[in-house]
Structure 1
Amino acid sequence: MPTAGNRKAGATPFYAHIVGWGMAVPETVMTNDDLATFVDTNDDWIRSRTGIRERHIASERESTATLGLKAAQAALECADILPIELDLVIVATSTPENIFPSTASLIQDRLGATRAGAFDLSAACSGFVYGVNMASQAIRTGSIQTALVIGAETMSRVMNWQDRNTCVLFGDGAGAVVLRAGEDEGGVLSAVLRSDGGGADLLGIPTIGSVDTLGMLDNGHTMHKMHMNGSEVFKFATRVIGESILQAVDLAGITMNELRLIVPHQANERIIQAAARHLKIDPTLFVTNLDRYGNTSAASIPIALCEAVQTGRVKMGEHLAFVGFGGGLTWASMIVKWSAPQSVDQTLLKRQRRQFSYTLARWRAALRRISRRINDFFGALNPARRRLARLRRKIDAIDTI
């Protein structure tokens, strides 16, 4: 693997190309009529204000990691690469499995990506664009060759299901892309990343370990549940979408007329319409699918991208923009020159090796669990260890007095 330290001066620069994509959503669908059975709302009210008619909700057996894993496997299949070829796994999420270990580490392990580093990235609904930029910059420096970026969320787990202003908006899902180094010009051309912490109290999830410096709980917010000042977030979003796209277009050295598609964060249909008016462009230039998925936070852009590719809206050599905005406050735009064919010829050997990697990863995890239980069992039989454990409990009890 090339690194920034061993590349020759004047060597051909690397470009970060998107070569694979995949998505996953839960099977369970919650319609607006379903919501109306336990929240004071109705289908007309939700559709007229948001454009959403249904969303997917994770079951008890589904999680941010399981959805992210499925999307990742689909992206690797699309790119026809092996997990062992990955150098880096980034998961953009606001609903991680744990504070640590990272959801990215869990997915990296279940893929069998034994040579990859992994970390989570927290930038709310902007997180996927942030993650793609982090990966593309690492590729362009030559420090890595192949990266997997995932946006995955189970927003249903952090909803106050009695708050009709927020619970009607969100859904669960995951999307992923594979980026790979290439010498042909294209791929990620530019990115604009911004933040305004002055708006931190407008949108957030107070959680464990937090000190209420923002007075969130005094404002009636609930620990571990999402809150949002909808009107202020709407004004913020309609302002930054157009501004950041124009900035990213300028950095990429192209014009707005050269943009063939904009893949925005799927928050609200009215926000997208307002952005189109601000940019003075046809609203059909924006990819929208929030009517079927709702707001899936960091997963919304890759899910929309996958569907745009599948329906033939993304074509080789064309320029498209990603734009996200959300809690932080954060926002981000990116220009990509699409360089991937609609489909890659799959090789039977690589497909079999991918499946073997996933199976081996499951067996490895199972053997680790068995090994720990055996060690615990024999450890319990050791009198000296039992005495030491009792002594430690006594010391702990003294410390708490």
Structure 2
Amino acid sequence: MNSTFYTDAGDLIDKPNDEVIKKFVDITEIEERRYIDEDKMNSDLGYEAAKEAIYDAGIEQEEIDYIIYASNFGEVSKNGMPNFMPNMAARVKHKLGIKNRKCITYDMIFGCPGWVEGVILADDLLKLGKAKTILVIGGETLSRVTDPYDRNKLIFADGAGAVVLQRTEEDNIGIIATNTVCDNAEELNYLECSKTLNPSADDQDKLYIRMHGRKIYEYALKNVPAAVKETMDEAGITDEDIDKILMHQANAKMDHAMVSRLFKLFGKSEYDEAVSPMTIQKFGNSSVATIPTMYDLIAKGEMKGHAFKKGGYIVMGSVGAGMNINCIVYKTPS
């Protein structure tokens, strides 16, 4: 199916689709992406991910004290209308059939770093003794909020991932350090919602996700590596200790550049790219779902050439709308 694309200024891009797509793949490396079935919703994806996380953790779901659901647009209908009432976490609790009235449901609206921020919040709640078991979900259906006339629609995809966190008395495992940075001044609208790029389209009131790619790229390269290194410094580790770096899968060119710049902060001009796996080529940018999806694939041995070491350090970093940045250093059990 051929598409018609327009520039940010509303001018028709008079180039064949093949040429537009080839340039897009060269920059982003995205060759495939996943879209939700028409009869499914975001909470359906989150429910499936939650079920699998609960099963993998070997817990009873009634033990869950909090459900935190990260998304940007909530339960998006087929016409692209975001819906947060009831909230996403409550919808998943309902679908799971959890009866525990003390299981509290929160939504985390924090841009693409939302799932990581949900994990950071869960870690704080666990360490403060406010909970013993927390389910954190990241799910998004970006295919329903992308402008059909915007080339950047090819970046975005749908997906969900989930994790169960529990309090432990063991020392020096789990989340060792976290870091969050919010730059909400001139950076506020680097990612925003705005009308279609096609000035002749019928519905000029409908809003779509809009990305100012160059500004985001420059911001990310300047700020993300420094924030990640700051988190690693707090954890007392260096580049030599890293087992894997799981970066939010936003754009392959940007991710490669951020990881490269991180290693330069440690005085290294080169690094083994196996330390920083990527899924964007196959799954696209599913926002809050990219990191938990990648973690799950590696943990289950379903990502060829990648596995987590026992007692190894996993660094997770993300950047997105706001602009917001966050990072986690996680140590796996020995």
TM-score by length of structure 2 reads 0.83
The structure that is helix-richer by fraction is: 1
* CA spacing shift, 1:162–1:37, aligned 2, 3 Å: closer
Q: Give, in whole Å, the separation in 2 of the partners of 1:50 and 1:41.
A: 16
Q: Give, in whole Å, the separation in 2 of the partners of 1:314 and 1:63.
A: 32
**1:100: Cα distance to partner?**
2.1
* CA spacing shift, 1:222–1:335, aligned 2, 3 Å: farther
**1:37: Cα distance to partner?**
5.1
Q: Does 1:93 align with 2:66?
A: no
* CA spacing shift, 1:321–1:58, aligned 2, 3 Å: same
**1:241: Cα distance to partner?**
2.3
* Counterpart residue type for residue 318 of structure 1: G
Which residue in 1 is equivalent to 2:193? 205
Of 207, 211, 228, the match for 1:224 = 207
Which residue in 2 is equivalent to 1:64? 42
Q: Give, in whole Å, the separation in 1 of the partners of 2:235 and 2:68.
A: 24
Q: Secondary structure at the match of 2:288?
A: helix
Of 107, 116, 120, the match for 1:133 = 120
Which residue in 1 is equivalent to 2:24? 46
Which residue in 1 is equivalent to 2:230? 247
Which residue in 1 is equivalent to 2:169? 183
Contact 1:188 / 1:336 at 8 angstroms: preserved in 2?
A: yes
Q: What pairs up with 1:343-362 in 2 under 5 angstroms?
A: none
Q: Give, in whole Å, the separation in 2 of the partners of 1:87 and 1:54.
A: 37
Q: Percent identity?
A: 28
Which residue in 1 is equivalent to 2:324? 330
**1:282: Cα distance to partner?**
2.7
| Rg larger in structure | 1
**1:304: Cα distance to partner?**
1.0
TM-score by length of structure 1 reads 0.70
**1:108: Cα distance to partner?**
1.0
* CA spacing shift, 1:327–1:222, aligned 2, 3 Å: farther
* CA spacing shift, 1:38–1:307, aligned 2, 3 Å: farther
Q: Give, in whole Å, the separation in 1 of the partners of 2:73 and 2:284.
A: 16
Q: Give, in whole Å, the separation in 1 of the partners of 2:219 and 2:147.
A: 23
**1:276: Cα distance to partner?**
2.5
Structure 2: tracts of 5 or more residues without a match: 6-15, 76-82, 196-203, 264-270
Q: Give, in whole Å, the separation in 2 of the partners of 1:222 and 1:48.
A: 33
**1:244: Cα distance to partner?**
1.3
Q: Secondary structure at the match of 2:85?
A: coil
Q: Give, in whole Å, the separation in 2 of the partners of 1:248 and 1:260.
A: 15
Contact 1:187 / 1:337 at 8 angstroms: preserved in 2?
A: yes
The C-alpha deviation readout for 1:166-210, integer Å capped at 9, x for no partner, is: 101000000001001111121011111111112112102269xxx
Q: Secondary structure at the match of 1:277?
A: helix
Q: Secondary structure at the match of 1:99?
A: coil
* CA spacing shift, 1:105–1:206, aligned 2, 3 Å: farther
* Counterpart residue type for residue 244 of structure 2: L
Contact 1:265 / 1:300 at 8 angstroms: preserved in 2?
A: yes
* Counterpart residue type for residue 231 of structure 1: R
* Counterpart residue type for residue 282 of structure 1: D
Which residue in 2 is equivalent to 1:106? 91
**1:62: Cα distance to partner?**
1.3
Of 76, 98, 103, the match for 2:54 = 76
